[in-house]
Structure 1
Amino acid sequence: MMHNFNSDPFYLTRSHEFDWNGNESAGNGIQHVDSADITSLFSMHNGIKASNASGSLQFGGSLGQFEKWDDPIVADHTSNHNEKLVKLAQNREAARKSRMRKKAYVKELEMSQKRLLQLDQALEKARHQAAKQRHSIGRDDAFDRAHARWLGEHERLMDELRSSLLSGEGDDTTVHLLVDAAISHYGDLHGIKSKGAGSDMFHILSGTWTTPAERLLMWLGGFRSSDLLKVVEKQMQNLSLSEEQLVCIFNLQKSCQQAEDALSQGMEALQHSLTLTLSSSSLARPSSGDVVDYASHMATAMSNVHTIQSFLNQADLLRLHTLQQLQRILSPCQAARALLAINDYKARLRALSSLWLARPKE
Structure 2
Amino acid sequence: MNFSRFYHVWLQHLQLLLEQLAASPKPITNEDQHYTIQLISRVMSHYDDYYRVKTHAAKNDVFSMFSASWLTSLEQSLNWIAGWRPTTIFHLVYTESSACFEARLLDLLQGNRTGDLGDLSPAQLARVSELQCETVRKENEITTELGSWQESACDIVSLLLDQEPEVERLVKVLEKADDLRLKTIKSVVEVLTPQQAVEFLIAAAELQFGVRGWGLAIDQRRGNT
Q: Per the shorter chain, which TM-score range?
A: 0.7 to 0.9
TM-score, length basis structure 2: 0.84
Number of the residue aligned with 1:220: 81
One-letter amino acid of the structure 2 residue matched with residue 196 of structure 1: A
RMSD: 2.0
Kept after mapping to 2: 8 A contact 1:267/1:308? yes
Instruction: State how far apart, in whole Å, the 2-side matches of 1:298 and 1:176 are.
Output: 52
Q: Secondary structure at the match of 2:61?
A: helix
One-letter amino acid of the structure 1 residue matched with residue 221 of structure 2: R
Kept after mapping to 1: 8 A contact 2:124/2:192? yes
Instruction: State how far apart, in whole Å, the 2-side matches of 1:297 and 1:221 are.
Output: 23
Matched, 1:183 2:44: yes
One-letter amino acid of the structure 2 residue matched with residue 171 of structure 1: D
More moved, 217-226 vs 231-240: 231-240
More moved, 340-349 vs 170-179: 170-179
CA-CA distance at 1:166 after TM superposition: 5.7
Number of the residue aligned with 1:153: 13
Question: Quick one: which of 153, 170, 175 aligns to 1:274?
Answer: 153
Among all aligned residue pairs of Structure 1 and Structure 2, give the percentage whose two residues are the same amino acid.
26
In the TM superposition, what whole-angstrom CA distance separates every residue of 1:173-224 from its partner, at most 9, and x where no partner exists? 2111111110111000011101111221111122222122111111112101
Q: Secondary structure at the match of 2:131?
A: helix
Instruction: State how far apart, in whole Å, the 2-side matches of 1:164 and 1:190 are.
Output: 26
Kept after mapping to 2: 8 A contact 1:197/1:309? yes
Number of the residue aligned with 1:196: 57
Matched, 1:298 2:161: yes
Question: Quick one: which of 118, 130, 134 aligns to 1:255?
Answer: 134
Q: How many residues align?
A: 205
Superposed counterparts of 1:321-360, under 5 Å = 321-359=183-221
Kept after mapping to 1: 8 A contact 2:62/2:171? yes
Instruction: State how far apart, in whole Å, the 2-side matches of 1:176 and 1:194 are.
Output: 27
Matched, 1:164 2:24: yes
Kept after mapping to 2: 8 A contact 1:172/1:332? yes
Q: Secondary structure at the match of 1:234?
A: helix
Q: Secondary structure at the match of 1:157?
A: helix
Provide runs of 4+ in structure 1 moved above 3 Å.
165-170
Number of the residue aligned with 1:206: 67
Instruction: State how far apart, in whole Å, the 2-side matches of 1:259 and 1:206 are.
Output: 23
One-letter amino acid of the structure 2 residue matched with residue 310 of structure 1: K
One-letter amino acid of the structure 2 residue matched with residue 247 of structure 1: A
Instruction: State how far apart, in whole Å, the 2-side matches of 1:317 and 1:241 are.
Output: 26
One-letter amino acid of the structure 2 residue matched with residue 352 of structure 1: W
In the TM superposition, what whole-angstrom CA distance separates every residue of 1:90-139 from its partner, at most 9, and x where no partner exists? xxxxxxxxxxxxxxxxxxxxxxxxxxxxxxxxxxxxxxxxxxxxxxxxxx
In the TM superposition, what whole-angstrom CA distance separates every residue of 1:68-93 from its partner, at most 9, and x where no partner exists? xxxxxxxxxxxxxxxxxxxxxxxxxx
Kept after mapping to 2: 8 A contact 1:217/1:223? yes
Higher relative contact order by CA 8 Å / sep ≥ 6: 1 or 2? 2
Superposed counterparts of 1:107-186, under 5 Å = 142-165=2-25, 171-186=32-47
In the TM superposition, what whole-angstrom CA distance separates every residue of 1:270-290 from its partner, at most 9, and x where no partner exists? 1111102x156xxxxxxxxxx
- Which structure: larger Rg? 1
Kept after mapping to 2: 8 A contact 1:267/1:311? yes
CA-CA distance at 1:267 after TM superposition: 0.4
Kept after mapping to 2: 8 A contact 1:207/1:215? yes
CA-CA distance at 1:316 after TM superposition: 0.9
Number of the residue aligned with 1:312: 174
Kept after mapping to 2: 8 A contact 1:226/1:256? yes
Instruction: State how far apart, in whole Å, the 1-side matches of 2:27 and 2:189 are.
Output: 22
CA-CA distance at 1:336 after TM superposition: 0.9
